[in-house]
Amino acid sequence: MDFSILASEFASLTFDGIVVGAIYALVALGYTLVYGVLRLINFAHSEIFMIGTMTCYGVTLALGISTSADPLTLTSFSLVFLLIVLTASLASGASAVVLEFVAYRRLRLMRASRLSSLISAIGASFFLTELFRILTESRNIAFPRLVDKEPLFVFSSAYITFDKLLVLIGAAVLFFLLNRVINHSKLGLGIRAVSQDETTAVLMGVNVSKVVSLTFLVGGFLAGAGSAFYMVFYETTKANVGFLVGISAFTAAVLGGIGNVRGALLGSFTLGLIQQYSSAVLGYNWRDVVTFVILVLVLLVKPTGLLGEALQRARV
């Protein structure tokens, strides 16, 4: 145990924790949105993220950017990054919609038990992971350095680099847009209506299937954008990347209160910081132990998560 590192490296650990938390948040929102509407944990959501990272890599391949190339200039980076974010978001969003159609829709229309949907979700997750494992021969994929990572400025012990700022700003923009969509659009009204009471929503003329599809689209879109930030930040991916990120994002969603959008944000940033601090103080290999002990404690005291709805009221 080394608490002195908290003092000497507090700023850098905190900054990195927030950046990691922002990436978790973009994935966690997909879990929480789908849960809000369907009361279903979409376990294949992590693979939607993985498809995003693979798409990012595919775009750089198509553009002929090699891993040994020098970072791009700011102008060309902006264009390339925009292309990557859009392609990855569309790929992930489309995959999420297809996933819903293939793995969940029929079960839902047949009023199958939630357990069936859960198994279907896990099956879809395995299918996608293994598919990409075979396609990539389960190798680590190196992503080219798109932008220079020299620090822009130093804040206490933290080096503020462009890629990390990009993650924070990009995530903030997406959170803002999501907030607009949910609270000020017809789709958002539909999502909120279905989430509150599906039967009444149908009686009020809400097309539930359409709302569900669009919810998956929005969740996939956010995960895809998150994957683009992830790739610029970490510069590596592999077939099981979704599992590593997904388990953290899912934990964050539960920590914040699953089904609650603000909870997903709070949970993600909290989790990012906890992971960063605990791995510095206790050692990286203790990170997950600490994370899950905290999760269990929070759920013991407050089973609904930090900001969550009452799970007991959820229709099971």
Partner 1 sequence: MAIGVTVAVAPSANAACAGNYKLYFQGALTGPAAETGINEYNGVKLAIKDYNKTASAKVDADAIDTQASGAQSPALAAKVVADECALGVIGGMYSGETLAAVPVYDGGGVPVISPSATNPALTNKSPVFHRVVANDLVQGPALATIAQRVGKKIFVVDDATPYGKGLAKIVKLNLKSSQLAGTDAVTEGTTNFSSVVSKVKSSKADVVFYGGYYPEASIFIKALRDNPATKNVKFVAGDGVLDAEFVKLAGKNANGAYLTAPGLPMNTAAPKLYKAYKAEYNKEPGLYTLEAYNAAYFFLQAIKKGNTTRASINKFIDEEVVKGVGMTMSFGPSGDSESIVMNEYTIKNGKVVWVRKL
Residues found near partner 1 in the complex (CB under 8 A): 2, 4-5, 8-9, 12-13, 16, 20, 67-68, 137-140, 142, 145, 149-151, 157, 159, 161, 234-236, 238, 240-241, 244, 275-276, 279-280, 283-285, 287
Q: Which is nearer to partner 1, 2 or 197 (CB)?
A: 2
Q: Residue 75 CB, nearest distance to partner 1 (Å)?
A: 23
Structure tokens at 282: 């206790």
Structure tokens at 228: 């683009």
Q: Residue 128 CB, nearest distance to partner 1 (Å)?
A: 18
| Beta pairing partners, 236 | 142
Q: Residue 255 CB, nearest distance to partner 1 (Å)?
A: 18
Q: Residue 63 CB, nearest distance to partner 1 (Å)?
A: 18
Q: Which is nearer to partner 1, 16 or 47 (CB)?
A: 16
Q: Which is nearer to partner 1, 283 or 303 (CB)?
A: 283
Q: Which is nearer to partner 1, 101 or 243 (CB)?
A: 243
Q: Which is nearer to partner 1, 140 or 185 (CB)?
A: 140
Q: Residue 283 CB, nearest distance to partner 1 (Å)?
A: 5
